[in-house]
């Protein structure tokens, strides 16, 4: 384990810029004496386990600086587990700087990124999943992101990991017992029972790993990319979904030359929406070609592609190139919804110009949605599809109605998910490895291999799981995690 830091650190927990108040946090053994020296209390009792003292004057950097509020959280009843003092001063730049300089001059050191949370972790105030959730809480833009972060902060992920771990420890204990027995004493039913237990563990862990598909999208936001030929109405869709005139719309093909990105929330879920330059065929214009390259990059990062086909359909050679692009997206495993745009023009179209007929013939298996920027209903349906896609995972459409079928394992990843939900790639990688190791242990048991070998795999699986909560984790990984934090957290 790593040595506890014994110095006293200080940093503002509020962002730079002008504000009514700013909060400077001091943590460590010198926190009390620094505050004693710097502040004259209106009453002098700020050494109670927890107290808020009003209107204390700072004698520091340039004499009296400000009237502040001092909150005291004595060890171990604080965020870091050390003595923590929080100074709420006025949030002007000069005042903030003077308060900080005074505290540093009095013996504190400027805290680095994530140092407060790192101390909280080492003092056993929170495990690694909770520390990661602190950052998610701060970064949450949408309600559902905040909800999953809060669940993780309050031990949601750790509890599930501990349950799985306890189960594996049970199997390991049984295995160790069998190891002590002579080979002649071994009964086939002992082996069978263990195989059964490991199968159960493997299954539960796999469900947990699969929950990451939905969990990642909730935590990071759903990346939706609108693509298609020039002038088909892509930017109009972005504007309709975002409810504002974000992208320029005109009847001149090639209006959008760069990607246009916007974040929106739908039913509390974060959606990153990207409009792209029309995918013109064989363009010689260098700016248009750069736009197309950016569109292709955006497509590669998409969770869901809205591919827009509108009348008039392009000539056959262009259509074939567009088909190739759509097929490439599908080969890359993208979920793709064909939007049959400018639906209001359809009644006037001959069948051979109608994108609906074309789509049904060329892409009969792809889900489609008719769309007109004049229809409130279409907008409502598109928003509903996006929400259901986030909640369900896969789009599937019957002839008349559109439905989203759920992955069994990610069904209702909102409230009360019985298998827990992973939202961090780091956790997913560890659970995947544990699934593999438990699977190997189970296969070795079935193949009649020695209990020693099986025990090794199980112990490795347990080690993998313990990296998630941070019970068994390298210093490098800890540094990596906390370095992503902001200063003051
Ligand atoms: N009739 C009708 N016209 C539409 C609809 N959606 C867009 N348009 C019109 O189609 C033209 C092109 O719309 P945009 O949204 O700029 O199309 P785009 O695909 O972004 O075009 P580029 O950026 O040039 O690739 C504009 O004149 C829009 O007003 C629709 O649903 N019905
Ligand atoms: Mg456009």
Please report where in the chains the tokens 């709420």 appear, as a residue. Answer: 88
- The CATH fold assigned to 138-211+418-470 is 1.20.120
Average pLDDT value for residue range 367-378: 94
Strands 39-40 and 304-309: unpaired
Q: Work out the mean pLDDT of the chain and round it to a whole number.
A: 87
Is the pLDDT reported for residue 14 higher than 80? yes
Average pLDDT value for residue range 212-223: 94
Average pLDDT value for residue range 452-464: 94
Is the pLDDT reported for residue 50 higher than 80? no
Strands 260-266 and 222-228: unpaired
Confidence of residue 203 (pLDDT cuts 50, 70, 90): very high
How close is the Cα of 263 to the center of ligand 2, in Å? Answer: 17
Minimum mean pLDDT range among 9-23, 155-169, 406-420, 468-482:
406-420
Minimum mean pLDDT range among 250-259, 266-275, 349-358:
349-358
Most confident of 67-76, 150-159, 470-479: 150-159
How close is the Cα of 248 to the center of ligand 2, in Å? Answer: 7
pLDDT tens, residue by residue, 309-358: 999 888 888 999 999 999 999 999 999 999 999 999 988 888 888 899 99
Q: Which residues line ligand 1 (CB under 6 A)?
A: 230-236, 249-251, 253-256, 278, 341-342, 344-345, 372-373
Average pLDDT value for residue range 437-466: 94
Atom of ligand 1 nearest to the CA of 345: 1
* H or E element, residue 363: none
Q: Where are the domains of the chain?
A: 9-126, 138-211+418-470, 221-407
The pLDDT, as a whole number, for residue 410 is 38
CA-angle at 423, arms to 333 and 382, nearest 5°? 55
* H or E element, residue 77: none
Q: Say what the pTM is.
A: 0.84
The SS3 of residue 22 is strand
- The CATH fold assigned to 221-407 is Rossmann fold (3.40.50)
Q: What are phi and psi of 482, to 5 degrees?
A: -75, -25
Which CATH number among 3.30.1360.120, 3.90.79.10, 2.60.120.380, 3.40.50.150 corresponds to the domain 9-126?
A: 3.30.1360.120
Average pLDDT value for residue range 149-164: 94
The pLDDT, as a whole number, for residue 251 is 95
Q: What are phi and psi of 84, to 5 degrees?
A: -125, 130
Atom of ligand 1 nearest to the CA of 254: 24
The pLDDT, as a whole number, for residue 413 is 41
Residue of 233, 240, 276, 312 to mutate, ligand 1, most atoms within 8 A of C-beta: 233
pLDDT tens, residue by residue, 82-107: 999 999 999 999 999 989 999 999 99
Ligand closest to 371 (CA) is 1
CA distances from 85 to 5, 70, 97, 173, 337 (A): 17, 7, 17, 46, 54
Residue of 230, 235, 236 to mutate, ligand 1, most atoms within 8 A of C-beta: 236
Minimum mean pLDDT range among 185-189, 339-343, 365-369, 382-386:
185-189
The pLDDT, as a whole number, for residue 182 is 66
The pLDDT, as a whole number, for residue 419 is 59
Gap between the Cα atoms of 458 and 434, Å rounded: 8
């Amino acid at each position: 384990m790593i040595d506890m830091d014994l110095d006293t650190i200080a940093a503002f927990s509020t962002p730079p810029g002008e504000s009514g108040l700013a909060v400077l946090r001091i943590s460590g053994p010198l926190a009390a004496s620094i505050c004693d020296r710097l502040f004259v209390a209106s009453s002098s009792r700020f050494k109670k386990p927890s107290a808020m003292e009003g209107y204390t004057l700072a004698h520091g950097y340039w004499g009296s600086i400000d009237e502040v509020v001092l909150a005291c959280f004595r060890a171990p009843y604080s965020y870091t587990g050390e003595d923590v003092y929080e100074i709420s001063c006025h949030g002007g730049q000069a005042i903030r700087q003077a308060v900080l300089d005074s505290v540093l001059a009095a013996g504190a050191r400027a805290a680095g990124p994530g140092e407060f949370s790192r101390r909280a972790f080492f003092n056993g105030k929170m495990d690694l999943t909770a520390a990661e959730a602190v950052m998610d809480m701060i970064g949450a833009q949408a309600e559902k992101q905040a909800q999953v972060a809060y669940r993780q902060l309050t031990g949601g992920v750790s509890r599930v990991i501990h349950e799985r771990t306890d189960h594996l420890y049970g199997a390991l204990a049984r295995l160790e017992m069998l190891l002590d027995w002579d080979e002649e004493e071994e009964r086939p039913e002992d082996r069978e029972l263990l195989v059964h237990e490991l199968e159960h563990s493997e299954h539960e862990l796999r469900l947990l790993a699969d929950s990451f598909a939905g969990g990642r999208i909730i935590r990071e936001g759903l990346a939706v990319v609108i693509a298609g030929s020039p002038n088909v109405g892509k930017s109009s869709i972005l504007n309709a979904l975002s409810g504002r005139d974000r992208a320029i719309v005109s009847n001149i093909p090639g209006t959008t030359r760069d990607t246009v990105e916007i974040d929106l929330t739908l039913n509390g879920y974060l959606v990153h929406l990207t409009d792209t330059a029309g995918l013109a065929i064989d363009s010689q214009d260098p700016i248009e070609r750069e736009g197309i390259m950016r569109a292709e990059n955006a497509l590669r990062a998409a969770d869901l592609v809205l591919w827009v086909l509108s009348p008039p359909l392009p000539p056959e050679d262009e259509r074939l190139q567009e088909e190739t692009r759509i097929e490439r997206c599908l080969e890359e495993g993208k979920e793709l919804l064909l939007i049959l745009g400018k639906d209001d023009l359809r009644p006037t179209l001959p069948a051979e110009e109608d994108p609906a007929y074309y789509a049904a013939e060329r892409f009969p298996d792809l889900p489609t949605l008719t769309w007109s920027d004049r229809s409130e209903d279409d907008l409502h349906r598109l928003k509903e599809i996006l929400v259901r896609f986030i909640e369900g995972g896969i789009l599937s459409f019957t002839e008349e109605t559109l439905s989203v079928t759920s992955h069994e394992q990610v069904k209702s990843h909102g409230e009360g998910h019985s298998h827990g939900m992973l939202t961090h790639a780091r956790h997913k990688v560890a659970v995947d490895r544990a699934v593999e190791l438990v699977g190997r242990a189970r296969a070795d048991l079935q193949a009649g291999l020695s209990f020693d070998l099986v025990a090794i795999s199980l112990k490795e699986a347990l080690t993998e799981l313990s990296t998630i909560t941070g019970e068994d984790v390298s210093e490098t990984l800890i540094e990596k995690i906390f370095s992503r934090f902001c200063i003051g957290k």
